[in-house]
Structure 1
Amino acid sequence: MLFDTHLHLIYKDRLSYPWLGDFDALNRDNPFEAYTRAAARLGISGCFHMEVDVAEAQIEEEIDVIAALSDQADGLLRGIISSCRPEHADFPAFLERVSEQTLLRGFRRVLHVVPDDVSTSALFRDNIKRLSGTGKTFDLCVLPRQLHLAIALVDHAPEVTFILDHCGVPDIATGALEPWRTDLRALAERPNVRAKISGIIAYGDPDRWTLNDLRPFVEETVDAFGHDRLVWGSDSPVCNLGGGLETWVAATHALTAGWSTEDRAAFYKTNAVGIWGL
């Protein structure tokens, strides 16, 4: 059974998503009801909602909207990763308010949509360090050229658990392993970082990618982090850009077919249970 650590639920009638207007293929609802039907068919036993970069004024409202879904589907929704703005001085007050939500598991600030110097400021780094001892994780959503920025942030907050999204968004379409591989391995040297192999079919050629295109990037990530520091995610509905949730689940099983039973179980679910104390 898979535990999905990266599901984007989208409700355009309740929340505003300014960036979706530039992405016609994704500019539609992704409701929980549709996901639960697919999950029951695909062997997904639990999930986290991953923030969808709503309008800044609605970040806390997004938490409330998603939390209201938690009674559906026999507890399939096990947590929320919230958006945040660590570059703002009021982050400590925000952290105190939202931490009262029992479903809150961590935070994310997408760093490839803001200038690189946002995450290098002392305020940003010190605010991320405030997560130390809280049990809340921070997702690193960066492009390969920004992995060095992720390393600097991780080094500033060694007691925070960081989750690298989407294997660091490698350039699967061209097959270019470097410099992604070198910087990924440098990041993996930090023991407080975990890697999320999530929805990477979206980064291949949408018409022609094959398992052999994905395999070297998955194998490099596994070799860098080890099986005990990996989690799985769907990145639904973004994975639709590469074939959809069903295709990604099938690819996941194919890519891990040669793993031991213990390693598959760790990647599929038990590592996530351990990280977030589920």
Structure 2
Amino acid sequence: MQIIDTHLHLMYPDTLRYAWAASVPELQGAATVEMFETLARPLGIERALMMEVDVDEPDIEAEIDVVGALVARTDTCVEGMIAACRPERPGTAFAAFVERLAARPHVKGVRRVLHTSPDTLSASQTFSDNLNRLAAQGLSFDLCVLARQLRGVAVPLAQRCPDLSIVLDHCGVPDIAGGALDAWRADLRAIAALPNVSCKISGIVAYAGAGWTVETLRPYFEHVIACFGWERVVWGSDWPVCRLGGDLARWVDATHALLHGCSADEQAALLNRNAQRLYRLGSASGV
């Protein structure tokens, strides 16, 4: 079954700047589409959305242009991207930015990294007013928060943007290695109660600790499905960050193991169909 990867990171350090990478040696260096496709195509990953990599702010639109050039080539798996943004900026700057995005059809949504930012960053009226501009242009917002931020940061923000399609990244970043399951369960249930929020099953192997197995991941996977159902979930590789918890093949194999016994319709919902709807992608054969 075809897989649409909704969370592929590509890094081009010769062109773009990533200040954060200086503190993460494992993720320094290039991560190109050619490197990814060599690994991904044999695993059934045929289509992908590039997820912004928290480039330095002056390079945000340069990153959009780099991915636009990849999409225009039509010989790669990349069909669009989720771009970086700064909705905390006051005045008309963000409105003008959204207008420019509307003229770039390969941009399907935006993300502002919140899990490494102060909890107060997204609490302002300016932040939510700016996010609400996205809905008018049909753009979605990927929400990346820590598990402890789900109830106090993510839920209020999603409530202030009821018309905005929000995708919660990495299952809300549960502390799988630490076994912190119960509090995350309750808080995930709270955000799943908001109909404008979907969930991305991605990234969790990086939080699972050494020696994780499919059974380590299963309680988290099953709770996401129980909360969001099969129509509000998408899948992401989180490559190359997934290498912190194994490799791409291991994560894809674990995904198939977690889906064992699920119907073909349920598997298609997670692996490709929901991604087409939420990120406004065209259909393709093999879905």
Alignment TM class, shorter chain as reference = over 0.9
CA drift at 1:178: 2.3
Choose 55-64 or 170-179, whichever is displaced more: 170-179
Amino acid at match of 1:226: G
* Distance in 1 (alpha carbons) for counterparts of 2:184 and 2:209: 18
Aligned counterpart, 2:97: 94
Q: Aligned-pair RMSD on alpha carbons?
A: 1.1
Q: Is the 8 A contact 1:175 1:213 kept in 2?
A: no
Q: Give the 3 Å change call, closer, same or farther, for CA 71–100 of structure 1 in structure 2.
A: closer
The share of aligned pairs that are identical, in percent, is 49
Code of the residue aligned with 1:105 in structure 2: it is K
Counterpart amino acid of 1:169? Answer: V
**Unaligned 5+ runs, structure 1:** none
Following TM superposition, where does structure 1 have runs of at least 4 consecutive aligned residues deviating by more than 6 angstroms? Answer: none
CA offsets 1:127-173 (integer angstroms, 9 cap, x no match): 11111232110011000111121110111110000000000000110
Q: Give the whole-Å Cα distance in 2 for the aligned partners of 1:28 and 1:255.
A: 32
What is the letter of the counterpart of residue 249 of structure 2?
E
Q: What aligned pairs does 1:53-68 form with structure 2 within 5 A after superposition?
A: 53-68=54-69
Structure 2 unaligned residues grouped into runs of 5+: 282-287
Match of 1:156 in 2: 160
Instruction: Please state if 1:269 is matched with 2:286.
Output: no
Match for residue 194 of structure 1 among 195, 198, 202: 198
CA-to-partner distance for each residue in 1:159-194, whole Å, 9 max, x for gaps? 000000000000110221121110100100001110
1:21 aligns with 2:19: no
Please name the residue that 2:228 is paired with: 225
TM-score by length of structure 1 reads: 0.97
Structural mapping, 1:47-126, within 5 Å: 47-72=48-73, 74-89=75-90, 90-126=93-129
| SS of residue in 2 equivalent to 1:195 | strand
* Distance in 1 separating the partners of 2:221 and 2:158: 22
Alignment-derived partner of residue 46 in structure 2 = 45
Q: Are the aligned partners of 1:167 and 1:195 in contact in 2 as well (CA < 8 Å)? A: yes
Size of the aligned set, in residue pairs, is 277
Q: Equivalent residue for 1:8?
A: 9
Q: CA deviation at 1:4?
A: 0.1
Q: Residue deviations 1:99-147, cap 9 Å, x none? A: 2111000000010111111100111011111112321100110001111
**Mapping of residues 170-185 of structure 1, within 5 Å:** 170-185=174-189
Residue 222 of structure 1: CA displacement? 0.6
Flag the 1:73–1:40 CA change in 2: closer, same or farther, 3 A: farther
Contact 2:40/2:248 (CA < 8 Å) preserved in 1?
no
Matched, 1:133 2:122: no
Distance (Å, rounded) in 1 between the aligned partners of 2:80 and 2:108:
6
Instruction: Give, in whole Å, the separation in 2 of the partners of 1:109 and 1:185.
Output: 23
